[in-house]
Structure 1
Amino acid sequence: MNVDLLVHEAWPAYEQRRHGGWILRYAGGVTKRANSVLALDVPADLDAAIGVAEDFYASRGRRCVFAVGAAPELDAALEARGYALVDPTVVMTGPGGSPEPEHEVRVEDRPWPAWLRAWWSVDGRYGSGLEEAERICTGVPAWYAAVEEDGVPLAVGRGVPQGDTLGVYCMATLPRARRRGLARSVLRALVRQGGTRSAYLVTTASNVAAQALYRSEGFEIRGGYHYRIR
């Protein structure tokens, strides 16, 4: 399972440029994931390649960002150039089977307006970027799940089928609805909907509460990455 590529494909930037083994990604500045360099190899002239990436983002008025996994040479080169390390992230994988959700979960193949508003109210760290975020989400086939009360989504998630695995994204619960098991029901509904042999998700290393939930559903940490920001 090449998680770097799975994440790239499940959260697609709508502008992508290849430079050797690197993919330069841009999506209006919404999320570092879709606005960073995915470095799939280390080029012979690493400094020149970094310069190309810096020019790419500078021309769009953005700071250059790299998603860095198991690439110590690249990580060291970026650190030497003054790039800050941010958002250490863990990758967790789990089984494809899942028990029945404990709550009724609505599942659609498109994000409806209330789903988007609920997700963005929790995860919308980028001001007015909801339109760009929706464009990213709908760039590939996916399912959108929510536990609702009176038509209002309280907990949401997104599942992306990718061959024999399912990528789980956009897990978010409104603050007033937490500690009620709603996220667990959303996760179970997505995994059951996917019907794949396995599932994976990513979460920040500091989010130990989310990791505890995912472990209780059979997920374990299998790797990780971080970002370097100029």
Structure 2
Amino acid sequence: MFDDLMRAGWPALDEVEVGGWVARFSGGVTQRANAVVPAVAPPDVEAALRQVEALYAARGLPVIFQLGPSAQPTGLDEVLAARGYEFGSPTSVQTVTLGRLDGGAGVEIADAPSEEWLDLWWRVDGRGDRSAMDVAVKILAGGPALYASLRDAGGVAAVGRLALVGEWGGIYCMAVREDVRRRGHGAAVLSGLLRAGQERGITRAWLHVRAENTAALSLYERFGFTEASRYHYRSHRGQEPVEHVHPEP
């Protein structure tokens, strides 16, 4: 279930099925949109691996697998490790069933990101040049979503995105301007997004957070989020990553 939600919430620009695995490509912008989702065990794992590696090599990208509890076949993580794939970015998938929400006053909600929204998000969380940002904008536009902005005297102080996938809402792109952190802006944006999502019919929400990000985990815990799953990445160490690929969330 979470694999499908994550694919819809952060859609790759191109997907190629390889024996039940889904190889995702987005010009190297973000790990998630350039990783293999091993949803179904291929008939021949070795042949599928060779095909996947050839597909990524042809695009000049490192081979990255996103591995959670549903990864197939069982033991794929060990197979990749033995093949020289490196472990990285352990991530907690958190969910919540939405109830009454308070807060979020002053948060602006839009159906598309403004230039100011994009500027702050990219300054805080982006990697690469304008061409990489252009790819990121295409990823954002790959499905319906809400975009939250909170302003102060200095302009946009915090932003966030809520992907709309049926009854689910997915939290992405949470970013707070460096000079105004630890002032509750992230909580305000999160509250504003979830309230706006409720108005659009969502009843549950999910998010991804790096397992070591204690500050973010504390914030999400206050909203009732609890861990539902975990995943990590395995990347081929024999090929240098392109500049745009970076850890997430």
What is the percentage of aligned positions where both structures have the same residue?
Answer: 41
Is the 1:103–1:182 Cα contact (8 Å) retained in structure 2? Answer: no
- In structure 1, what is the Cα distance between the partners aligned to 2:117 and 2:83? 41
Cα-to-partner distance string for 1:174-207 (whole Å, 9 max, x where unaligned): 1111111111111111111111211110011111
**Residue of 228, 232, 237 corresponding to 1:226:** 232
Task: State the AA in 2 paired with 1:227.
Answer: Y
Alpha carbons of 1:114 and 1:57: their partners in 2 closer, same or farther (altered >3 Å)? same
Q: Which residue of structure 2 lines up, in the alignment, with residue 193 of structure 1?
A: 196
Shift of 1:97: 2.8
* DSSP 3-state at the match of 1:168: strand
Q: Give the structure 2 partner of residue 73 of structure 1.
A: 75
Q: Is residue 148 of structure 1 aligned with residue 151 of structure 2?
A: yes
Query: Stretches of 4+ moved more than 4 A in 1?
Result: none
Q: Show the 5 A alignment for 1:177-216.
A: 177-195=180-198, 196-216=202-222
Q: Deviations over 1:19-58 (max 9, x none)?
A: 2211111111000000010110222311111111101110
Is 1:48 matched up with 2:40?
A: no
Corresponding letter in the other structure for 2:214: V
Instruction: Give the corresponding residue for 2:95.
Output: 93
For the aligned residue pairs, the C-alpha RMSD in angstroms reads: 1.3
- Please state whether the residue corresponding to 2:33 is helix, strand or coil: coil
Partner amino acid, structure 1, of 2:18: H
Report the TM-score when normalising by structure 1: 0.96
Q: How big is the shift at 1:151?
A: 7.0
Tell me: CA distance 1:102–1:136, structure 2 relative to 1, closer, same or farther (3 Å): closer
* Counterpart in the other structure of 2:239: none
Q: Could you give the per-residue CA deviations for residues 88-121 of structure 1, whole angstroms, max 9, x where no partner exists?
A: 0100001223423254101100001010010111
Say if 2:27 is the partner of 1:28.
yes
The match for 1:174 is 177
Matched, 1:164 2:161: no
Judge which range, 113-122 or 123-132, deviates more: 123-132
Shift of 1:165: 1.3
After superposition, give the CA deviation of every residue in 1:134-170 in whole Å (9 maximum; x if it has no partner).
1100111110001112472211110011111111111
Gaps of 5+ in 1: none
> Does the CA contact (< 8 Å) of 2:104 and 2:189 recur in 1?
no
Query: 1 CA distance for matches of 2:2 and 2:79?
Result: 23
Asked if 2 retains the 8 angstrom alpha-carbon contact of 1:98 and 1:191, the reply is no
Contact residue 91 and residue 203 of structure 1 kept, 8 A:
yes
Provide the TM-score with structure 2 as the length reference.
0.88
Distance 2:100 2:192 in 1: 8
User: Contact 2:106 / 2:150 at 8 angstroms: preserved in 1?
Assistant: yes
Structure 2 CA distance for aligned equivalents of residues 151 and 112 of structure 1: 16
Letter in 2 for 1:223: S
**Deviation of residue 127 (structure 1)?**
4.1
